[in-house]
């Protein structure tokens, strides 16, 4: 398991392990959607963080912050992506900030 894999939520790890056929189909769809996107990798990663924050899916934040950082996103861009949903979703998006900042800063320490 890679360091990035250790950031996956327990729920997603269980999905991958216990339902490999479904997981494979899901990942194929994820790859196809990514390939079809007109967004560059950094923009797509930041947009995904905004969606996760708005939907209160904090368990996925650390994994996807590392992905965004690898795509070239700065710490301030990650924070801005988390907070971009404030007008539409309200302050619930702030719940994702601690995990996002911890994940980004842990990349610097590694």
Phi-psi region of 40 (alpha: psi -120 to 50; beta: other; left: phi over 0): beta
Give the tokens for residue 30: 């994820």
Residue-wise pLDDT for 13-66, tens only, equals 999 999 999 999 999 999 999 999 999 999 999 999 999 999 999 999 999 999
CA distance 57 to 59: 6
With 70 as the cut, is the pLDDT of residue 96 above it? yes
Q: How many other C-beta atoms are found inside a 10 Å radius of the C-beta of residue 53?
A: 27
Residue (of 41, 54, 109) closest to 81 by Cα position: 54
Q: Which residue has the tokens 């911890």?
A: 102
pTM value is 0.89
Q: Which residue has the tokens 């996956």?
A: 8
């Amino acid at each position: 398991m890679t360091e990035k894999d250790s950031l996956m939520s327990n729920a997603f790890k269980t999905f991958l392990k216990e339902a490999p056929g479904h997981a494979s189909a899901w990942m194929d769809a994820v790859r196809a959607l990514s390939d079809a996107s007109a967004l560059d990798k950094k923009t797509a990663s930041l947009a995904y963080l905004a969606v996760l924050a708005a939907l209160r899916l904090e368990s996925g934040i650390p994994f996807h912050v590392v992905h965004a950082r690898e795509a070239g996103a700065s710490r301030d861009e990650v924070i801005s992506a988390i907070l971009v949903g404030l007008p539409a979703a309200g302050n619930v998006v702030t719940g994702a900030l601690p995990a996002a900042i911890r994940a980004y800063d842990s990349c610097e320490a590694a």
